[in-house]
Amino acid sequence: MSQLKISGYGDDLTVNKIRIGDLTPREHEEIELSKGGQNYSPLENVVVSMVKDSSTLIARKPDPSDVSRYVESELLDGLCCYSAVNQGQLNKIIVDSVIHHLKVEKLPTVPRSIRHKYMSAFLLAATGITGMDKVVPKVAGVESWELTFKICRRWGYKIKGIPKDEGLIIGATGNFHGRSLAAVSMSDDKDSRHGFGPFVPGIELVRFNHIGDLEDLFKRKGDYISAFMVEPIQGEAGVIVPDDSYLPKVAQLCKKYNILLAVDEVQTGFGRTGANFAHQLYNIEPDIMGCGKAAGGGILPVSFVAGKKEVIDVLTPGSEGSTFGGYPLASVVGTYSIKALIDLELAKNARIMGKQLIKNMKSIKKEFPDKIKEVRGKGLLTAFEMHDEKHLDGHAVSLGLLKIGVYAKETHHSTVRIAPALTITNDQVSILSDAIRTVIKGL
């Protein structure tokens, strides 16, 4: 076996004589290409090295005068890790809780087969913020969706009385629920499915925001359907906001046909859309919901399923489990991520700043109607879609923004999502908007 030596911290972190602080963006890319799986295509020629404040990253780019070196510059973070860092990077409330927990409380990890006291705090906080009866902690966002899926299936057999193994779960076209096999079985995105079949059976899709399609399906197959699983606003699809009447009608139909309404709030939750959870914008009450991303405040992956008692209660010992779901440190991070959401009034700030950002983007659209087709969003989950033409490529916009100090990333080729930290200030909204205007003007 070859010798492996790891030493130092930060830029001095050295693995087998390769000091991380010496690597140029190109060398980082080469290591990723030769040693990592190619399941992402990150922005070229930039490596983030640290955060400066809640929404500013320090990034390394090639030195224009010597590509064997790099220069550091600031990037305003317009994406905040796909809404995982709603509370802002290194949020003090959460970081203090972690430091205190590790240094003073000293209980990082125990398994679920013995109770720990922090789980109670997390369950009280998570049921409190969601208004749901019960919560089951998980780790990644997709796991909260996957567990929701399992619970809905079991509810269908145990409570609704669907004949064994004949249950159906309905999803919406354009959905994104993550990358597990069940999640891609529900997806209609070719890239995420290609080569991964056979897929999980018992899933059907209806067009998102077409209530007639859902009603028709419920009429035909309602006795076999246990749940409709839907994102209140489709984030990955390009911030697709449904008509105001859509979700209330969905909720009515689900009630009428005794079908669970399961919402995926992994991206839309934790204040992102201007409400603590996006479904609250539409005054509906889901039966079960999945949360993730900002449930861990950008410090740890924390997710959970929250639901009504009679739904969550279909779980029994042995039917579900996760070593790190709700372990002590995650329970602390989850609890204080909720505290930050409340104490910093993040949903309110998302509402106020989002209004400003959307207004600015609409005025850019007005200035360049031949370039921007649509501006969409709720709170600080926003996007602009360009006309589908070659020179209006979304990736070119991301690269243009990067050049002038803003990090954002296209979703599909012609839409650029802008979803900054919910702690963003008025001045930063102006910087973001000015940068977008400059890049669009130059296209």
Ligand X SMILES: Cc1ncc(COP(=O)(O)O)c(C=O)c1O
Query: Is 5 marked active-site?
Result: no
The answer to whether 436 and 382 are in contact (CB under 8 A) is no
User: Which residue is it, tokens 């009504």?
Assistant: 308
Give how far Cα 33 sits from Cα of 44, 63, 191, Å.
Answer: 12, 21, 20
CA atoms within 13 A on the CB side of 63: 9
Indicate the residue among 176 and 257 with the shorter CB distance to ligand X. 176
Indicate the residue among 160 and 177 with the shorter CB distance to ligand X. 177
Query: Is 293 marked active-site?
Result: yes
Amino acid at 174: G
Indicate the residue among 236 and 385 with the shorter CB distance to ligand X. 236
CA distance 2 to 220: 62
CA atoms within 13 A on the CB side of 148: 37
The active-site residue out of 134, 160, 293, 378 is 293
Find the shortest distance in angstroms from Cβ 235 to ligand X: 5
Indicate the residue among 295 and 332 with the shorter CB distance to ligand X. 295
**Residue 187 buriedness (CB in 10 A; 0-12 / 13-18 / 19+):** buried
Coil, strand or helix: which one is 307?
strand
Find the shortest distance in angstroms from Cβ 32 to ligand X: 19
CA distance 187 to 199: 10
The active-site residue out of 264, 304, 378, 409 is 264
Find the shortest distance in angstroms from Cβ 9 to ligand X: 27
Coil, strand or helix: which one is 441?
helix
Find the shortest distance in angstroms from Cβ 258 to ligand X: 25
Indicate the residue among 266 and 329 with the shorter CB distance to ligand X. 266
Give the nearest residue (CB) to ligand X. 141
Give how far Cα 50 sits from Cα of 58, 189, 293, Å.
Answer: 5, 33, 20
Token reading at 5: 């030596």
Q: What is the DSSP string of 46-107?
A: -EEEEEEETTEEEEEEEETTEEEEEEEEEEEESSHHHHT-TT-TT-HHHHHHHHHIIIII--
Find the shortest distance in angstroms from Cβ 232 to ligand X: 9
Indicate the residue among 60 and 293 with the shorter CB distance to ligand X. 293
Query: Is 189 marked active-site?
Result: no
Task: Report DSSP state, residue 23.
Answer: -
The active-site residue out of 149, 176, 218, 384 is 176
Chain residues binding ligand X by CB under 6 A are 82, 140-142, 145, 176-178, 231, 235-236, 264, 266-267, 292-293
Find the shortest distance in angstroms from Cβ 284 to ligand X: 17
Would you please indicate which residues are annotated as catalytic (active-site) residues?
176, 264, 293
